[in-house]
Amino acid sequence: MNEKLFYSNGKLLISGEYAVLDGALSLAVPTKYGQLLSAKKISDNKIIWNSLDDKGNTWFSTRITIVRDSLTNVVTLSLENPKDNELETTKTLISILNEAIKMNPDFLAKKHGYIINTKLTFPKDWGLGSSSTLINNIANWAKVDAFKLLWNSFSGSGYDIACAQHNYPITYQVKDKKPTVKKVAFNPPFKDQLYFVYLNQKQNSREGIQQYKNIAVDKAEFISKISELTVQISEATTITEFNTLIAAHEQLIADLTKTPTVKERLFPDFTGELKSLGAWGGDFVLATGTPRDIRYFKRKGYDVVISYKDMIL
């Protein structure tokens, strides 16, 4: 068969944002949304790349030439069209593929090329992992370690790669670039009171990571408290307990980053509780409450509100 198919789950980080970078135990959940990648062999030494959004529209396309040195067997990739209007995205893609080649010299070594089609099943500005699902799919295609491919290409903790690979809630911890992924029985009896609200803007997670790294304080006690909260959040049995825990988590991050919580900043009159997910300032937040409570967000102009059962695997 000339065509291979790969699929990776999207992600949401329930606890441990920022702290996961420094080895805190974190709770993460894979989403029902994700990204597909199909790789079809062609005779030309080219990669013809097309990326489709959730509506099936092409949002990125490029052509890359595969150059193989017959003496050294070294494979390199080059832009077919240096005036490509998607130049920066193409350069990023080539850098990821080049890292995969370094990790597995047999990748792309044979005398043929590929038509690659990727398709997101969620709007790409939702922040559910358009990059991590791509990296995990490329790693599967290239037969390399997805965590190493991420760390060789970008920064990040890797929890999103773990979600891409698992179909259930996990705790995630990374120390010395060694990820520990454990299945967790996070199936709260109050999950019908959990909702995900899109804040109408995508957050640049790399900027958020850098801002956190620039905080020059001893974070050992902070990391310990976040790890403890992760365990408690994953084991909470009532919505009251859960609300208390996520509010405490929000306050810990706010105190460290000297940033107001999302509830203080945007929704001070919301009757339920709110928890930021991932880098603060954009993407989704977790809201708790009854369906009547949650209608608050629609009235405020936040139209993307997804229930826990519709979002999480």
Model confidence over 76-131: pLDDT tens digits?
Answer: 787 776 666 678 898 899 999 999 999 999 999 998 999 999 999 999 999 999 99
Q: Is the pLDDT of residue 16 over 70?
A: yes
pLDDT, greater one: 41 or 71: 41
Can you read off the two tokens belonging to residue 1? 């068969």
User: What φ, ψ does residue 152 adopt, rounded to 5°?
Assistant: -75, -20
Pairing of strands 26-42, 170-175: antiparallel
DSSP one-letter code for 108 = T
| Whole-model pTM over 0.85 | yes
Residues with Cβ < 8 Å from 92, sequence gap 6 or more?
Answer: none
Kindly report the CA angle at 277 between 276 and 281, in degrees rounded to 5?
60
- The confidence band for 195, taking pLDDT boundaries of 50, 70 and 90, is very high
According to the model, what pLDDT value does residue 214 have? Answer: 75
DSSP one-letter code for 230 = H
The structure tokens 């999302």 sit at: 262
Burial letters for 236-260: b for 16+ Cβ neighbours within 10 Å, e otherwise?
Answer: beebeebbebbbebbebbbebeeee
Rounded Cα distance between 37 and 97, Å, is 14
Mean local confidence (pLDDT), 219-245: 97
- The confidence band for 245, taking pLDDT boundaries of 50, 70 and 90, is very high
Tell me which of 231-240, 270-279, 301-310 is least confident: 270-279
According to the model, what pLDDT value does residue 215 have? Answer: 79
- 273: exposed, middle or buried (Cβ count in 10 Å: 0-12, 13-18, 19+): buried
CA 185 and chain centroid, separation: 21
Among 284, 273, 196, which Cα is nearest to 240's? Answer: 273
- The confidence band for 280, taking pLDDT boundaries of 50, 70 and 90, is confident
Mean predicted lDDT score pLDDT of the chain:
92
